Amino acid sequence: MRTARRRAATAAFRRVVVEFPAPLFSETERVATEIGTSRSKLIRCAVEQYLEALRREILEQELAAGYVANSVLDRRIAEEFSAADYGTCR
């Protein structure tokens, strides 16, 4: 029973071997100890934050491209409704 549980618990995780330059490894060890966490957890959190930053950057680029692609239409709509904004008629 224990073996089955252990396999189920580790099935969600994958072990990876990552090479670090010596100074980065030392800094990672120091910070993990300083904040009271494991090296693995620190690295997982760092990767999660990096991936989230990449996702945000891609989304921002897509939004910017969308704004540019729709800018002519947006200006035309804004001009059509500008009379309503100022309470005047055309």
Predicted pLDDT at 85 = 62
Per-domain residue ranges for the chain? 20-86
Predicted confidence (pLDDT) at residue 73 exceeds the cutoff of 70: yes
Quick one: how many helices (H) and strands (E) in the chain?
A: 4, 0
12-62: pLDDT as tens digits:
889 999 999 999 999 999 999 999 999 999 999 999 999 999 999 999 999
φ/ψ region of 31 (left if φ > 0, alpha if ψ in -120 to 50, else beta) reads alpha
Predicted confidence (pLDDT) at residue 82 exceeds the cutoff of 90: no
The answer to whether 49 touches 57, Cβ cutoff 8 Å, is no
